[in-house]
Amino acid sequence: MLQNVVPEMFQGVPKSVHVVNDGVSVMAGESALKIPLDPAEAITLSGEDGSIGLKLVGAEGLATIDASGALIFGYPDGSSVAVMPKGNASVQMTMVIESDKSATSYDYAFVLPDGATIVPAVGGELLLVSVEGRLLGAIAAPWAVDSNGVDVPTRFIVSGNVVSQIVDHSSGDFAYPIVADPYMSRNLISH
């Protein structure tokens, strides 16, 4: 179970998630998060200065909501991603890689305001920057661990508005499942 491998990721999950007809939403002050049940629709993080969208490339079927409040989306290779709403209207996506036959790359397509870009930062984080140079949000540095808590090599590759998390689980003798995590927030880094 995911909580046993990385229990710290369940901190900050809202006690009550507002479930609407087509997904889940969280409000925190001026910020809002909307996670649709359909992976073809974008997850949106909104604030007073606009919104950022994120699509789970390759996910199939409607999400299920587990007891922790996470939405679980499946992939054709048997992997899944737990999309966890946080109380501050941020979102944590935890990929669960089931076997050595699973993919080593998972893509997240961003829907950004015109002219906005995704810029790598020194510590492995990614910054979402407006055309005017204003920080719109950030993605924390990636991490991945196997079910014994052993670190698995991982990194981001950015191509336009698509962020690929590469999880090199074929490079060692890892215990499955492996979890890999990108965490996104409009307020990850103060501006």
Q: What is the percent of the chain with per-residue pLDDT over 70, rounded to a whole number? A: 84
* Predicted structure pTM score: 0.83
**With helix as H, strand as E and coil as C, how does the chain read?**
CHHHHCHHHHCCCCCCCEEECCEEEEEECCEEEEEECCCCCCEEEEECCEEEEEEECCCEEEEEECCCCCEEEECCCCCEEEEEECCCCCEEEEEEECCCCCCCEEEEEEECCCCCEEEECCCCCEEEECCCCCEEEEECCCEEECCCCCECCEEEEEECCEEEEEECHHHCCCCCCEEEECEEECCCCCC
Is 141 within a domain? yes
Count of domains observed in the chain: 1
Q: Is residue 111 part of a domain?
A: yes
Look at residue 191 and tell me if it is in a domain: no
Domain assignment present for residue 102? The answer is yes
Domain that residue 15 falls in: 2-185
- pLDDT, tens digit, 9 for 90 and up, residues 128-172: 999 999 888 889 999 999 999 999 999 999 999 999 999 999 877
